[in-house]
Structure 1
Amino acid sequence: MKKLVALFVLLGVVLAHPAYSADDNQGGSLWERLRRKIEMFTPKKKISTTTAVGGVRGALADADDIYWKGETNAPSIDADELGAFKKAVSLHDAGDVEGAKAGFEDFLKKHPNSQLREDAEMALAQLQPKK
């Protein structure tokens, strides 16, 4: 029982550490995730490879369900949309908080149906002064 209580106390101390805090304005959690998302949406150079695929005759599978080796289903996004989002994140990285706010607000106005909308809204909320 004492070991269990000690474990919970230790877990509480670790989770209370600033590195795990989502409220850290300069912290990497939100901004690192945004940078990873930008990397994910950035088009990669396609390498041509030859592959072979085998299947089982008579197997019940739709054409959409078949996995093709080497095929990537990376999400795609418009270059202008990605550029505007990238610019707002880079403004934050440069320390221009007001410019980043304006960049994210402009992004939301120009691209209301973007896949990055939720991330832009979270970034704007993070950039607002704490009361």
Structure 2
Amino acid sequence: MRGSGTAHGSGRTLRETVLESSPILTLLNESFISTWSLVKELEELQSNQENPAHQKLAGLHLEKYSFPVEMMVCLPNGTVVHHINANYFLDITSMKPEEIESNLFSFSPTFEDPSTATYMQFLKEGLRRGLPLLQP
């Protein structure tokens, strides 16, 4: 799996919280190739007529991108199997557990920080959606 953050900004908030968590880093190292792409870089790749494969991959990511940062879980062929906007992610992680209507993002008692628990669920959901598509 490929986890990527397509960023217009720095994504500093995520790097300073969830990406410093040992369980998150373990899962990323075991199951993902984690990358960051700037929108400008993707737009340049998409407009490069010399490499149709890169054009396609950039297009798949830009199609799912929303300002300022979009977190995506992608297959090796670039297909986005799961994504969430950083603003929405930060909004739901600032809510109290009883305020969350959807059980898609319920908080786990395993983590003290709701953003870490929610990001872990995001990654696991990406794996759940993507792994069956990788089977021969």
Shorter-normalised TM range: under 0.3
Q: TM-score, normalised by structure 1?
A: 0.27
In our comparison, the structure showing a higher alpha carbon Rg is: 1
Q: TM-score, normalised by structure 2?
A: 0.26
Higher relative contact order (CA 8 A, sep 6+): 2
Which structure shows the bigger proportion of residues in strand conformation? Answer: 2
